[in-house]
Each structure stands twice: as C-alpha cells, then as structure tokens.
Structure 1
Amino acid sequence: MDYYEILGLRRSATKEEIKEAFRTLALKLHPDRHSQSPREVKETATHRFKQVSEAYDVLVDDRKRADYNLRSGNPFYAGGGSYGRSGYGATYRKEYRPRTWRGCGDNPLFDLDFLVRFVRRRGFLLNVAFASVLLGGAVIVERSGEALWRINNSGKSFEEMIEAIEKVKTHKDQGS
C-alpha cells in the first residue's frame, strides 16, 4: 500500500499538500457522509477512509514519514515497494518480509536491514549495557580476589598452598 498514491500525492509533497489532500478525501469518504448509502458503498468508503487516515498519520509525522520513505523507496533495497498489504500499522511485523541488501545477492542469512533494526532497538541496547556491567563486575571480582590472595598469602602461589594443604591432610591421615 503506497500512502502517497492513496492521498494522490508526489513523494516530494509538503505538509500543507498532505493536509489538504487528507481534508479533501476525508470529507469525501467519511463514514457519516455515507450513513444512508447501500451497505457495499458504506463499507468501501469506510475502508478507504481508514486507509486515508493511516496514510495521513504516517506522512504528516516527520519521523514516521522518514521511516516509511526509507523502507518503501530507498534505492539500496532490492524491490522497494511498500510495507505490505496492511501498511504501516499494527500488522507491520506480521506481514513484513525482510528485503535483502543489494550487493549481498539473495542470501537470506545476511539481511543488513534486519541487523541494523535489531541493534538499534532499545531492548537490545539495554541488554548489551547490562551484560557489560555484569562482565565488568566479574572481572573486578576476579582481580580483587587475586589481590586479596596475594595480600594474605605473600610469597606463596595458589598451587603451593594446595600442595601444603594436601601434605597436612596426608600427615593427619597417617597420624590418626
């Protein structure tokens, strides 16, 4: 579903043009205007009104529009096209088919677009930060343990201490 096509606009349309196209189509397709129409006409108008509303919602918001333009018309993506039959809304994830990055051929195992989207997610970044803190903590605990061992057992290595303990155990076993 191409939002620009739904609103009858060019990709370079300004916000004012988008708003005007939406107002015109919304007045024409609004469900209240078709309340006395036959059922089929009413359903068609309602469906088109929802499409127009969704298109307006995406194209009037700068961030959503940039994301939509990136995904639907970027020359680096094979195929271009649109988000899918249901558009940008709630069914985006269900109907999204990953596109391969040009230059990588048709290798479905290497999808740079998916990788970039995955790495930029807040949850992923929080997990990486949490793992970094845990790893840093483990390194600090290990090094501080070694430092404490050296302070309490100056001149002896861990292996030497284990040998001394083994000798004491064997001596006790022989003496008992």
Structure 2
Amino acid sequence: MDHYQTLGLRRSATKKEIKEAFRRCALKFHPDRHSLSPPAVRDQAVLSFKQVSEAYEILIDDRRRAEYDFAGGRRPEGFGGRRAAHTSAHRGYGYGGAARNSRPAFDWEFLFRYLTSRRFLLNVALASALLGGAVVVERSGDAIWRMNNSGKSFEEAMESLEKAKVRREEG
C-alpha cells in the first residue's frame, strides 16, 4: 500500500497538504458516515479509514516519513512488529536463480536502524560507563602509588620491602 496514493498526494506534499488530504479522506470513509450502509460497504469504509489513518500517522511525522521514503514506499519493519527474518527468496536466491530484487548483499538499512536503536545506545552507554570506571580506578591507583612511593620505581619499592622483611626476620 502506497501511503501517498492512499491520500491522493505527490511525494513532495507539504504537511499542510497532508492534513487537508487526511481530513478529506477521513470525512469520506469515517465509519459513522456509513453506519446505515450495507455491511460490505461499511466494512470497506472501515478498512479504508484505517489505511488513511495509518498513512496520515506515517506521513505527518518527519522521522517516520523519512524512514518510509527511504524504504522505497514499503512499510519499514520498525512500524508495528518485529523485523521479519530474511529468507533466501527475500535475498534474491531461488526461483530459478534469477534475483527477485536488486537489494545489495549487505542490508545497510538494518544496520542503521540497529545502531540507532534505544537498546544498542543503552548498551554503548553502559559499556562506556564501565570503561570509564576502570580508567578512573587505574589512574587513582597510580596516583596513590606515586603519593606513597615518591621517587621510587615499582622494582625499587619491591626491593625495599624485601629488605625490610629480611630485617624483621633477622631481628
């Protein structure tokens, strides 16, 4: 279903044109206007009203409209439901060896959607916080070492500890 065609619009339609087209179609297909119609007409009007409403929801939102346009007029998987698993037919294999579509072997759209998903960004934030904490602990340990052992290297400090240990055992 092409949302632009559903609302009777061009792809370059403005938000004002989208709102006007939605109002016009909503008045035409609203279920209340068809309450006394035969069941078949009423059911078709309800279906058309749902399609018009979905088209309006996607086209009026800039982000969702950009995703829809990027998907080439197909409904992107991110709208209402999980992403369908890619089958061999979807990738263009099978059916006599001829490619069904001209999609590239790597799905950049899926990668972009994954990298901008809330789950991925929260995981990156958590990993950054853990890494930052490790760096803080490491640097604070070094700073404490330098305060307590000023001018000594680690090896020199270990030698002095060994000497002190030997002195205690002898004395």
Instruction: State the TM bucket, normalised to the shorter chain.
Output: 0.5 to 0.7
- Aligned to 1:90, the other structure's residue is in SS state coil
Q: What are the within-5 Å matches in structure 2 for residues 37-52 of structure 1?
A: 37-52=37-52
- Number of the residue aligned with 2:142: 146
Aligned twin of 2:104? 105
Match of 1:161 among 142, 153, 158: 158
CA contact 2:6–2:55 (8 Å) conserved in 1: yes
The 5 Å alignment of 1:66-145 reads: 66-72=66-72, 81-83=73-75, 89-91=79-81, 93-95=82-84, 105-106=104-105, 110-145=106-141
Aligned to 2:23: 23
Cα deviation, residue 3, structure 1: 0.2
CA change 1:45–1:135 in 2 (3 A) is same
2:65 corresponds to which residue?
Answer: 65
Alignment gaps of 5+ in structure 2: 92-101
Percent sequence identity is 53
Q: CA deviation at 1:43?
A: 1.4
TM-score, normalised with respect to structure 1 = 0.66
**Larger mean Cα displacement after TM superposition, 43-52 or 134-143:** 134-143
The CA distance in 1 between the partners of 2:78 and 2:126, in whole Å, is: 32
Aligned to 2:36, the other structure's residue is in SS state coil
Structure 1 stretches of at least 4 aligned residues deviating more than 4 Å after TM superposition: 94-97, 162-165
Q: Is the 8 A contact 2:29 2:45 kept in 1?
A: yes
Shift of residue 56, structure 1, vs aligned partner: 1.5
* Separation in 1, partners of 2:146, 2:153: 8
**TM-superposed deviation, 1:45:** 1.1
Superposition RMSD in Å: 3.6
